Amino acid sequence: MAQGALPGFRDFYPPEYADRAFIMRAWREVARRYGFAEYDGPPLEPLDLYTRKSGEEIVGQLYNFTDKGGREVALRPEMTPTFARMVASRANALRKPVRWFSIPQLFRYERQQKGRLREHFQLNVDLVGEADVTADAEVLACAVQMLREFGLGPTEFVARVSDRDLWRARFVRQGVAESDLPRLFAIVDKMERTPPEVTVKKLESLSISTNIIDAIFAFARPMTIDEFLDGFGGGSTMLESTKRLHRYAGYLYNLGVYDFVRIDTRIVRGLAYYTGIVFELFDALGEFRAIAGGGRYDNLLKASGGPDLPAVGFGMGDVVLGDLLRSRGYMTVDTPGVDVWIAYADDQSFAGALKVAADIRELGISVEYSLNRPQLARQLKVAGSAGARYVIIVSPDDWRSGKVTFRNMLLGLQGTMVHTALLQELASRVHLGDRLRQDLWFLGDGNPAG
Ligand code: HAM
């Protein structure tokens, strides 16, 4: 039996590849509109890039090994440490704010489950050099637009927003050690998918007292912005955070994405480096895992050996998004197929067919023909099953007078025309790009195809 891919890894046959390309095309288009430039880094990095920066959960999922030169290395499980390293090492030369995006393939040795594989492609959008919430709003608006681009609306997905500073202000005051915060966030991050008694046990292992544990359970919940402002105005740091969130909400309103946003203090993010506002995008029915996650990480650039620059960004994977688009009918991918099939009436016409194929490919139109020189009827059948929209038939008599037959497969109409005139016609339409495929062009004198 043929061997399959490793568990958690995917083979992309052309239909699956077409879905992947459909998603990435939209991502690139929105990133361009928001003024982010594309970059990439190496898929293999020094192991300590992650052991120092990412936090326990990701480190436990690393694909790491010792290379032949004795270096400890790991396949990248996330892009942010690479991004921080790249920006840090050229920080002074880069125009601020730095607005970059990337679509790396990432590797995590996860327990395989719905929406979680061992490799995925992840859009990363990051902005460095602006500490104000204007940058947080810009990045969240971009994340929301990434989903709207496919047709998803406010009844279909939500952005759940919170602020790690609120947690810090609320609980460090009450006696949780600052150094325990990363572990507290890792526990809160899992709360929704963990039975309460397990969460309590985990919190107790951080020596958090029962009344603080009760306060944590009461604090972590969804709320409206008004409810939030009423409830969390007290205390000077709390007041700072709430004021900031209020301004942030205003910008989100102006950017047209307010309808997608909910305050939800259960969102803290699992990675260690986040410092301020954090967010995750979920489908509104709660059927799937997080579609995207991100937030502010103001200390990572400095920790990567660079200058002290504030940063904010997010990652959006292709797995959950693909599942969601398919389940809601938004994966509207054109089935792969060639534009034009060249058929030849007999062996004698084969040379002419090759010439026609070469001429039309020169125009940027996709062309295929039968390589094994079967009968014409067979060629036409193959053209149909290959999804060709148009067929050009080269036959000896026509070809002698420089003509070919052009057939529109969808309309079932065909006509004979001079080859050079046909090339001109096609050249005048090819600028339509992808629309060429939907364009029901009809050329020639329009007889029903026999
Ligand atoms: P993350 O929350 O670990 O964040 O991943 C972001 C998104 O990538 C998730 O919401 C999910 O859609 C997808 N994802 C993560 N792991 C898997 C997996 N095993 N299988 C399928 N999809 C997955 C980060 O990685 C941050 N570095 C994002 C970031 C960029 N923060 C700031 N800038």
Tell how far the Cα of 426 is from the centroid of ligand 1, in angstroms.
44
Which residues surround ligand 1 with Cβ inside 6 Å?
Answer: 78-80, 108, 110, 116-117, 120, 122, 124, 126, 271, 290-294, 313-317, 319-320
Q: At which residue do the structure tokens 């998803």 appear?
A: 152
Tell how far the Cα of 29 is from the centroid of ligand 1, in angstroms.
20
Q: For residues 394 and 444, give the distance between their C-alpha atoms in angstroms, rounded to a whole number.
A: 14
- Choosing from 319, 321, 323, 325 the residue with most ligand 1 atoms within 8 A of its CB, the one to mutate for a pocket test is 319
> How do residues 204-235 score in pLDDT, each as one tens digit?
998 889 999 999 999 999 987 767 766 666 56
Ligand 1: residue whose CA is nearest its atom 24: 315
365 vs 150, more confident: 150
Of all atoms in ligand 1, which is nearest to the CA of residue 115? Answer: 21
Ligand 1: residue whose CA is nearest its atom 28: 315
Tell how far the Cα of 315 is from the centroid of ligand 1, in angstroms.
5
- Mean per-residue pLDDT, 285-312: 96
Tell how far the Cα of 313 is from the centroid of ligand 1, in angstroms.
11
Q: Among 291, 145, 160, which Cα is nearest to 225's?
A: 160
Q: For a pLDDT cut of 90, what percent of the chain falls above it?
A: 73
Q: For residues 91 and 306, give the distance between their C-alpha atoms in angstroms, rounded to a whole number.
A: 7
291 vs 435, more confident: 291
Tell how far the Cα of 40 is from the centroid of ligand 1, in angstroms.
17
Residue 139 pLDDT: 98
Q: Among 310, 279, 307, 300, which Cα is nearest to 53's?
A: 300
Q: For residues 409 and 437, give the distance between their C-alpha atoms in angstroms, rounded to a whole number.
A: 12
Tell how far the Cα of 280 is from the centroid of ligand 1, in angstroms.
10
Q: For residues 3 and 5, give the distance between their C-alpha atoms in angstroms, rounded to a whole number.
A: 7
Of all atoms in ligand 1, which is nearest to the CA of residue 78? Answer: 25
Tell how far the Cα of 443 is from the centroid of ligand 1, in angstroms.
50
> How do residues 59-108 score in pLDDT, each as one tens digit?
899 999 999 999 999 999 999 999 999 999 999 999 999 999 999 999 99
Ligand 1: residue whose CA is nearest its atom 29: 314
Ligand 1: residue whose CA is nearest its atom 25: 78
Ligand 1: residue whose CA is nearest its atom 5: 315
- Choosing from 82, 100, 120 the residue with most ligand 1 atoms within 8 A of its CB, the one to mutate for a pocket test is 120
Ligand 1: residue whose CA is nearest its atom 14: 317
Residue 445 pLDDT: 58
Beta bridge partners of 296: 312
Residue 233 pLDDT: 60
Average predicted confidence (pLDDT) for the chain: 91
Tell how far the Cα of 105 is from the centroid of ligand 1, in angstroms.
11
Spatial contact of 429 and 380, defined as CB atoms under 8 Å apart: no
Of all atoms in ligand 1, which is nearest to the CA of residue 280? Answer: 10
Tell how far the Cα of 103 is from the centroid of ligand 1, in angstroms.
12
435 pLDDT above the threshold of 70? no
Tell how far the Cα of 423 is from the centroid of ligand 1, in angstroms.
48
Tell how far the Cα of 254 is from the centroid of ligand 1, in angstroms.
27
Ligand 1: residue whose CA is nearest its atom 30: 314
Tell how far the Cα of 188 is from the centroid of ligand 1, in angstroms.
17
254 pLDDT above the threshold of 90? yes
Task: State the pLDDT confidence band at 432, using cuts at 50, 70 and 90.
Answer: low
334 pLDDT above the threshold of 90? no
Ligand 1: residue whose CA is nearest its atom 10: 292
Task: State the pLDDT confidence band at 338, using cuts at 50, 70 and 90.
Answer: confident
Overall pTM surpassing 0.85 (yes/no): yes
Residue 440 pLDDT: 47
Of all atoms in ligand 1, which is nearest to the CA of residue 61? Answer: 19
Q: Among 378, 318, 315, 314, which Cα is nearest to 343's?
A: 378
Residue 412 pLDDT: 85
Q: For residues 258 and 137, give the distance between their C-alpha atoms in angstroms, rounded to a whole number.
A: 10
Of all atoms in ligand 1, which is nearest to the CA of residue 108? Answer: 19
Q: For residues 386 and 400, give the distance between their C-alpha atoms in angstroms, rounded to a whole number.
A: 29
Tell how far the Cα of 257 is from the centroid of ligand 1, in angstroms.
22
Residue 234 pLDDT: 58
